[in-house]
A and B are shown apart, each in its own frame.
Chain A
Amino acid sequence: MKHLDNLLEKDFHIVEKRKILFAIPLAIIFIAAILMIIFNFTLGSPLNLGTDFTGGYSIDVKLGNKLNESNYDSYCDRIEDIVATVVTEDGKTYNIRVDNMQRQGSGEKSSIHVKYFAVKGVSETEMIEDVNPAIRKALEEEILMIIPDISVSGNVITLTYGDVVSEPTFIEQQTAFISLVESLNADLNAGITFEGDAEDGIALNEENKKQIVITLKSYNDSRDVQKAIVNGMKINDIYSGSVTQGDLIGATVSTELLFNAILAVSLALVFMLCYIGLRFQLSSGLACIIALLHDILVMFAFMAICRIEINSTFIAALITILGYSINNSIIIFDRVRENTKSIYAKNMTPEQIANKSIRETLLRSINTTITTLIMILMVAIIGVTDIKIFAFPIIIGLLAGTFSSICIAPSFWALFQRVGKKNRDNFNIEPKNKSTKSKKSVTDSQV
């Protein structure tokens, strides 16, 4: 603890270092701006806006007990693929982007909740009447099937399933294998002739009952034939799952919400400015607001740089940081107020007063940041995914808020004090001739 207490006696000359300190957030924002421009051309949008703001649709793929930890990711990959490459009845492709996928329910009710974006320039009716049913159909056909792995050696084709295929399925009261043979016979005609009878050409590997061996008379290794075989041999699994469509997520509603929130926040800022102007000085209020804008910009910059999705919870995060940031700045300005009132103020430059106030509140700033960070880090580490998304911008906002209240707000306050005649009487401000002044203030405080 000793080194911490020594903090109080050391002057960091933070206000004098403002050029370096201001450069840090400016650099971050600059990088974000450049990345946003790059993203705008490469990925189509500068910020990663969620369906809350862009509008979109959702679909539920109910998989039941088939869904487990190990195959969840592969299911997600496949769904993303299918949604992206969906073709409507009239042969149009849309290249639809999936926003996010969520695992919902457990056991028999397990499902994957897929949200995807509306396509730019495609009308709502077209989306609802053509595209969405096509997606649903494609998902039903592709996802709800058990598709075997295929391996070919000579004219022998081996299909491997994840499960035993000779057990009778509950619904059909018939072994899956027999129904497979039937479906293959029905599906395959041209180009494929079996060795001997059809029934002899297809055989079940009796050892593990998971493999089906197909022996063909002649086999020319073409993808089409392979595809046809896989198509014929996939097990229709529609009984264990279903795809239900079709929630609609409106963009207009959320943008109105956002607009309302921005209106409320701006009004709140005006009122806060008035209050701070009354209780402190107008310049303190302005410095607070600048610090706050800095925090919000830095939060946006990080969201842009890391391309984290911005959805409606981000608004809540912004509001939290708004309160926190103003809070932090005011604690420092309270010290500034106190130090300005003291009899020594007339002998000090505004920079010295700001530095003194920063120094005196530094331990409080650090300790409060630590306690808040502890809580939000726990949320980020332990909480569920959706809360984690909320926690990240808050962590960035907390750090930015601490930085701005120490390094930005007091510096701006000191700058403002040099403007206006009235202020000059309150402090030891020498008329113009900057270079000597700033040097002097440094040497003064070192004595």
Chain B
Amino acid sequence: MDKNNSLTEAEETAATKTPVTPAPAHKAVKKKSTITKLVTLCILLVVGLIFCFCPMQFGFTDYYPFCSKESISLGLDLQGGVYAVYQATDTSTDNFDSKMEGTRSSLENLLVSKGYTEATVVREGNDRLRVEIPDVDDTNKILDIIGKPAQIEFRLYDTGEVVLTGEDVVRASAYYSQNDGGYVVALELTAAGEDKFYEVTSNNIGKYMDIYTVIGGEENRISHATINSAIRGNAVISGGFNSEGAEELANQIMSGTFDVQLELKESETISPTLGDNALKYGLIAGIVGFVLVIAFMCVVYRMLGLAATIALLLYVVIYMFFLAVLPWVQLTLPGIAGILLSIGMAVDANIIIFERIKDEYRNGKSIMAAYHAGFKKALFAILDSNVTTVIACVLLLLLGTGSIKGFALTLLVGVLLSLFTALVVSRAVAHWFINLNSYNEKLFNLKRGRQYQDLQADATDAAILEVMRQEEEQKQQKKEEKKKLKELEKSARTARRNKQNKGGDPA
């Protein structure tokens, strides 16, 4: 392009009609402050990336980066462990909902008291409980504890009369007692239970009391004890236990304290190594894919692509930060793929905007004007398309269960973040880049359309308007010519028709 005289055509023709302000010299912009802003952002980005990926040590404390097993809470399918799903057998009882809730918390307490502090028990649907215990090798041990929740009944041996049920027991625990010279099981009873227990024990001293478990009508005696005295308060079952026996009895009684009768529906063990590999290869796939995507963007959009790259890096950093910080986000196996995919999709908003900018530039705007118009016009397309995704995510969050909920949440975070990075970050960075160089279209891989080929990259509006006016005039002229041609044709046709009619007449 001829720099000094790039507006030749426009100027020459325009000069005869309206005075046009000459094409601006490459306007000096605040380059210094732009560079400062850019450098600051880049430094922030590097710091963010370091916090995101590099494990560090501050003094004696280890710092785990956002993107590490320690920071992101992993789903059971990545962490390994055991899960089990229980279903209530009888949903028709009163206050079923609150009983279910009570069962949930007592199940959780039971697991925590056994040392599985990370165990979670969540309600699934209306009548199911899902127990997840991460990082466990021995499944059988856990299924021993929670495997067979049963109803529990305290009966008098002589009469078979049921005197107490699981509802009256708060806690059963096994411990070594010096007084009794062996392992014992201590019962902690509710207030009502204490009263009942006192009444029964005072009336039946010297007789036997049995404890039965009832699973689906099948009865099983788990304890047969003599009532030594009237017991007020906490009771202790002693005699001939070894540590395991006491433990087992306590567990059985505990699982009988659940308000709702449960049935094991589903259980599975997941190996942790699966997750290790998934994370490792997921990270590699992510890095390779990311590099390829930004390479693609930089080839197609050059400096604009670079702006998108910076926005995308920020996207990754913030996304990882949220994954690490939001407590209810769990990374699952499909979640890894979902996050990687979201990086590919997050570029989408940038691509929409950049294509718009290209369009605008092609149609004769200056680079800066094309940038402004491009963002403005692309805004609603981007908002509309993302709002629909947000609608889907929110509904899945509200109605979905378990892993689907988690997946929807990661998707939602990704969509909102990609909106932010595209509409704020990449907008700002693209602005700075154009500020630095608003006259070299090649830097942004922009091209003029055929009509505006000679227009300078930073042509003013007046010059553009002038060209557009001429365009319009030319179009009008062409239209008129066409009209004339058509009329001519029409008249010719009518003439021909007349002739034909005349010619047909003689027959």
Residue positions of A touching B, CB distance < 8 A: 1, 5, 58, 60, 102, 104-106, 111, 113, 244, 247-250, 252-253, 256-257, 260-261, 263-265, 267-268, 271-272, 275-276, 279-280, 312-313, 315-317, 319-320, 322-324, 326-328, 330-331, 334-335, 338, 360-361, 363-364, 367-368, 370-379, 381-384, 386-387, 390-391, 394
With contacts A330-B381, A383-B278 taken as known, whether A268 is within 8 angstroms of B391 at the C-beta atoms is yes
Q: Is B445 at the interface (CB under 8 A from chain A)?
A: yes
Please state if B284 and A313 are interface contacts (CB–CB under 8 Å): no
Contacts of A384 in B (CB 8 A): 274, 277-278, 281-282
Chain A residue at minimum C-beta to C-beta distance from B386: A327
List which B321-356 residues lie within 8 A (CB) of chain A: 333-334, 336-338, 340-341, 343-345, 347-348, 351-352, 355
Please state if A263 and B384 are interface contacts (CB–CB under 8 Å): no
17 contacts between A and B (CB under 8 A): A244-B140, A257-B402, A261-B401, A265-B395, A316-B404, A319-B411, A323-B392, A330-B381, A330-B388, A360-B359, A367-B296, A368-B347, A375-B340, A376-B340, A383-B337, A386-B278, A387-B282
Alpha-carbon gap, A84 to B290, bound state (A): 45
Alpha-carbon gap, A260 to B402, bound state (A): 11
Q: Is B230 at the interface (CB under 8 A from chain A)?
A: no
Which residue from B300, B352, B398, B411 sits with its C-beta under 8 Å from A320? Answer: B411
Contacts of B359 in A (CB 8 A): 360
Contact with A along B380-424 (1 / 0, CB 8 A): 110011111101110110111111100110010001000000000
Please state if A383 and B285 are interface contacts (CB–CB under 8 Å): yes
Contacts of B393 in A (CB 8 A): 323
Please state if A376 and B344 are interface contacts (CB–CB under 8 Å): yes
With contacts A320-B338, A327-B385, A378-B286 taken as known, whether A250 is within 8 angstroms of B345 at the C-beta atoms is no
Which residue from A253, A315, A331 sits with its C-beta under 8 Å from B266? Answer: A253
Please state if B345 and A324 are interface contacts (CB–CB under 8 Å): yes
A336 to chain B, nearest CB (A): 11
4 tightest A-B CB contacts, nearest first: A104-B271, A375-B344, A378-B289, A372-B344
Please state if A390 and B293 are interface contacts (CB–CB under 8 Å): no
Alpha-carbon gap, A320 to B386, bound state (A): 13
Contacts of B470 in A (CB 8 A): none
Please state if A376 and B341 are interface contacts (CB–CB under 8 Å): yes
Interface of B is mostly: helix
Please state if B282 and A374 are interface contacts (CB–CB under 8 Å): no
Alpha-carbon gap, A376 to B344, bound state (A): 8
Which residue from A279, A363, A379 sits with its C-beta under 8 Å from B285? Answer: A379
Apart from A104-B273, A265-B392, A330-B385: 6 A-B pairs, beta carbons within 8 A? A316-B403, A319-B396, A338-B377, A379-B340, A386-B333, A394-B341
Contact with A along B292-307 (1 / 0, CB 8 A): 1100110010000000
Q: Is B125 at the interface (CB under 8 A from chain A)?
A: yes
Query: Which residue, A106, A244, A264, A373, has most C-beta atoms of chain B within 10 A?
Result: A264
Alpha-carbon gap, A363 to B296, bound state (A): 14
Chain A residue at minimum C-beta to C-beta distance from B391: A271
Query: Which residue, A106, A111, A250, A383, has most C-beta atoms of chain B within 10 A?
Result: A383
B380 to chain A, nearest CB (A): 7
List which B262-293 residues lie within 8 A (CB) of chain A: 264-269, 271, 273-274, 277-278, 281-282, 284-286, 288-290, 292-293
A295 to chain B, nearest CB (A): 14
Q: Is B447 at the interface (CB under 8 A from chain A)?
A: yes
Alpha-carbon gap, A268 to B411, bound state (A): 15
Please state if A317 and B274 are interface contacts (CB–CB under 8 Å): no
Chain A residue at minimum C-beta to C-beta distance from B352: A364
Interface of A is mostly: helix
With contacts A253-B265, A372-B345, A374-B344 taken as known, whether A383 is within 8 angstroms of B293 at the C-beta atoms is no
A256 to chain B, nearest CB (A): 6
Residue positions of B touching A, CB distance < 8 A: 85, 124-125, 128, 139-140, 264-269, 271, 273-274, 277-278, 281-282, 284-286, 288-290, 292-293, 296-297, 300, 333-334, 336-338, 340-341, 343-345, 347-348, 351-352, 355, 358-359, 377, 380-381, 384-389, 391-393, 395-396, 398-404, 407-408, 411, 415, 445, 447
Chain B residue at minimum C-beta to C-beta distance from A391: B337
B400 to chain A, nearest CB (A): 5
Alpha-carbon gap, A268 to B389, bound state (A): 9
Contacts of B355 in A (CB 8 A): 361, 363-364, 367
Contacts of B377 in A (CB 8 A): 338
Chain A residue at minimum C-beta to C-beta distance from B300: A367
Alpha-carbon gap, A364 to B152, bound state (A): 66
Chain B residue at minimum C-beta to C-beta distance from A110: B273
Please state if A313 and B334 are interface contacts (CB–CB under 8 Å): yes
Alpha-carbon gap, A187 to B176, bound state (A): 50
Alpha-carbon gap, A378 to B398, bound state (A): 32
Alpha-carbon gap, A54 to B351, bound state (A): 43
Please state if A58 and B407 are interface contacts (CB–CB under 8 Å): no
Query: Which residue, A60, A323, A382, A383, has most C-beta atoms of chain B within 10 A?
Result: A323
B150 to chain A, nearest CB (A): 17
B297 to chain A, nearest CB (A): 7
Please state if B268 and A247 are interface contacts (CB–CB under 8 Å): yes
Contacts of A379 in B (CB 8 A): 282, 285, 289, 336-337, 340-341
B487 to chain A, nearest CB (A): 17
Please state if A252 and B388 are interface contacts (CB–CB under 8 Å): no
Which residue from B124, B288, B296, B336 sits with its C-beta under 8 Å from A387? Answer: B336
B122 to chain A, nearest CB (A): 13
A77 to chain B, nearest CB (A): 21
Alpha-carbon gap, A379 to B300, bound state (A): 23
